[in-house]
Structure 1
Amino acid sequence: MANEGMWNRTRQAAIAEISAIAMDLFLERGFEVTTFDDIATAAGISRRSLFRYFGTKEDIVLVHLADEGKLALEALEARPDDEPVWTALLNVLLLIDDGGGDRERLLKISEMMYDVPSLRSRSLEKHLQWQSDLLPEVKRRLGAASGDLQAAAVIASAVACLDAAGEIWTRSRGQIPLSHLLTDAFDAVQQAAR
């Protein structure tokens, strides 16, 4: 079992390194122009090895989104049980902070995400996985009378708020904090539902 843990850590380190190298190429040359061969060469691995880690260029950019769904679930489970589910989801999504890291790099990555149709589409697919990840906990928080539809609708609304806030943050070049935009989006949906 110890070997399994070491293998997994080694694989995760390789994925992180390849992702960083590829992201540099995407931002320098453009997503659509950069090829798998370019990434493999820059990473010092074969094209075949690269395919062992990633099936598509989109997967390289979005590798972190799948993990964020699981992290969001852990954060939601840690929220107080008496906190309304909509407030709990907002507080979980507020953990996605636009203030960390290199702001210009984050903006360039976000612009790429919103400008490249295949990335935008795959990003939405990854967010759908969040719906599956969060569904049991949101359903539990809504109570015994709620079903999958109610829980799925609440999660989809929250993720749509995140996406809308992210796009406005990107288009404003980060002039408005993402946390403010996300809170405003959640408030807008809540007011419209009244």
Structure 2
Amino acid sequence: METTAEHRLELVTLLFGNQSLRVGHAEKPARWQDLLAPLIEPRLPDSDYRALQARAIAAAAVTCLQAANQEWARLGGRADLFDLHDTAVQAIRRPA
């Protein structure tokens, strides 16, 4: 079954607009981090902190995706989700 942009917008709006759904959804990023970090870790330079670095990268990626989804819903789906994600990633990659 293909998800249309309209259907995705309804789901994201419902998810972020409902307190109990939002709380339940909050557990997912930790699970995603657990899945992503072991895939990232071997790609990093050898270091005593490589596992920490992998977990931080995974957490940042998941957070950027969540922020992009929330902004996309706030804009009523009138923006490209991939562009929003890229913008979020660029925000944390920019030197201070």
1:1-194 paired onto structure 2 within 5 Å:
101-145=3-47, 146-192=49-95
State the structure with bigger RCO (CA 8 A, min sep 6), 1 or 2: 2
Residue type of the alignment partner of 1:131: Q
- Distance in 1 separating the partners of 2:44 and 2:19: 35
- Distance in 1 separating the partners of 2:46 and 2:19: 40
- Distance in 2 separating the partners of 1:147 and 1:180: 29
- Distance in 1 separating the partners of 2:85 and 2:19: 23
Question: Percent sequence identity over matched residues?
Answer: 33
Q: Report the CA distance between 1:101 and its aligned residue.
A: 2.6
1:87 aligned residue? none
Larger Rg: 1
Q: Provide structure 1 residue ranges, at least 5 long, that are not aligned to the other structure.
A: 1-99
Q: Report the CA distance between 1:106 and its aligned residue.
A: 1.4
Normalising by structure 1, report the TM-score. 0.46
Q: Report the CA distance between 1:179 and its aligned residue.
A: 0.5
- Distance in 2 separating the partners of 1:129 and 1:101: 23
Q: Provide structure 2 residue ranges, at least 5 long, that are not aligned to the other structure.
A: none
- Distance in 1 separating the partners of 2:85 and 2:62: 10
